[in-house]
Amino acid sequence: MPGRSKLASIHLASTIWFILCVGYILVIALRQAGVNWWILFSLSGHGLLIVLILISFYLFAIYRGISSSQNVKAEHPLTNTIQYALFYAVTPFLGGLAGCIGMLDADNVNHFISGISLATLATTFFVWVILDPVIGLLEMLAPESRKHYVQRQNQMKIEKEKKLQERQHLLAEVTAKEEHNRDRWQELLKPDAEKLAALLTTDSKNFRQAEREAADIGAYAWQIGGLSCMRELRNMALDICKKKNKSNEIVDYITFWWDGIGNWRTPSFS
């Protein structure tokens, strides 16, 4: 028996064979309907691309099914065996073989190939679309399969709730840490915030000096707590400035003074 890794290759070959047979049937049907060859050739390029995309998605789904976890085997004891997987993968070839045997007495090559293609299509459709889902349903109706399915769903629910609790716990820790840092920064940087607030109202003559002093304060805040600390210090300075000036019309020079310090960037207005 081939291993799981070889089943994907076998299934790829059988799927290509199935697509070729379906394509042949479509071409013959269109020709019998009076469609010219040049129309078929013009459609073949786009059709080939669509077919390749569909095959890729289908093979990915099959690969996921072939490489499924051991847990599902308890629920599907037959369809998860190597023997069944091999039968499923070679179904188009079996259909082609049956069609070949049944068309040995064909009077010409076209009838022979058409018979093989139709047998491949019929067999593949029956096994992949009808038989396989029915077998899977019957497996799930077995008491042991139902029991294992319920246990697996409960286990998945417990794991999901556990991950949710872990995320909530992590979020609470991050929030608590941010609150702690904010309280510490407000106490530590209060003098710097008051100095920044005073620099915001400096006159044009001392503007360059104010910019240099503000940059030093911003670099200090970056060393203490990075970008979050700089944002907190800026907000503190703006609040202090608004309270002292009894006005909300404050020009935020800090945003421009700190451009290039650490990760601080002046927003673009263009």
Structural domain includes residue 152: no
Work out how many domains the chain is built from and give that number: 2
135 and 25 in a common domain:
yes
Residue 54 in any domain: the answer is yes
pLDDT of residue 31: 67
On whether residue 40 sits in a domain, the answer given is yes
120 & 193 share domain: no
The ranges of the chain with pLDDT < 50 are 40, 43, 60-61, 63-70, 269-270
Tell me: do 120 and 16 sit in the same domain.
Answer: yes
CB-neighbour burial class of residue 169 (10 A; exposed 0-12, middle 13-18, buried 19+): exposed
105 and 206, same domain (yes or no): no
Residues 17 and 134 grouped into a single domain: yes
Domain boundary among the residues 141, 157, 180 is at 141
Indicate if 9 and 132 belong to the same structural domain: yes
Going by C-alpha positions, the residue among 74, 64, 79, 75 that lies closest to residue 128 is 79
Per-residue confidence (pLDDT) for residue 64, from 0 to 100 = 47
Residue 87 sits in the same domain as residue 14: yes
Domain end point (choices 141, 173, 203): 141
| Residue 180 lies inside a defined structural domain of this protein | no
In a domain, 160, yes or no: no
d(CA 201, CA 203): 7
Asked whether residue 12 is domain-assigned, the answer is yes
Which of 141, 164, 198 is the endpoint of a domain?
141
Domain extent at residue 232: 189-257
Instruction: Encode pLDDT of 6-36 as tens digits.
Output: 877 888 888 889 888 888 887 777 666 665 6
What does 85-110 look like in DSSP terms, one character per residue?
HHHHHTHHHHHHHHHHHHTTT-SSHH
Give the pLDDT confidence of 45-67 residue by residue, as tens digits.
Answer: 555 555 555 555 555 445 444 44
Asked if residue 33 belongs to a domain, the reply is yes
Q: Is residue 26 part of a domain?
A: yes
